[in-house]
Amino acid sequence: MTISVGDKLPEATFNIMTAEGPSQVTASELFDGRKVVLFAVPGAFTPTCHMKHLPGFVSHAAELKAKGVDTIACTAVNDVFVMNAWAEQSGAKDKITFLADGSANFAKAIGMDLDASGLGMGIRSKRYSMLVDDGVVKVINEEEAPGKAEVSSAETILAAL
């Protein structure tokens, strides 16, 4: 079942990179009592993700925070080292929290997993953005195709705030 507006996010554990090295953060630590913009991409460094989706959240980070967003987070079915390299290379490290969902556990738990085996990428996440307030989904914008980054854009979330 795909997550919907009004649903509480399930508990999950993400891998993150800290100054001390790889660590973990739970969904409740990240979302409870906070307003979070979460967006997901099928893969770090892939063309649409890297050149179209992520840049909008980087360039609109200050505007999103000015509208009361505590955290902007990006999740992908990649390992923590790839997500950290992407954060550093894209210049987004200080603006966006990068959440590695390496085994697609979170993507599967919210019904947003994507079988990209035909492209040699295995199980990935669908592309979406959502506004989460105190762990509850307030807005969700799912792309119809993984190569599109339109309805899940930073501008769409910004307009919903």
**Residue 25: DSSP 8-state:** E
**Ordered strands of the 21-26 beta sheet:** 21-26, 13-18, 97-100, 71-76, 35-41, 128-133, 136-142
Catalytic residue (one of 49, 72, 80, 92): 49
- Phi, psi torsion values for 114, nearest 5 degrees: -135, 125
Cα dihedral 114→111→6→98 (10° resolution): -60
74 is catalytic: no
**Active site amino acids:** 49
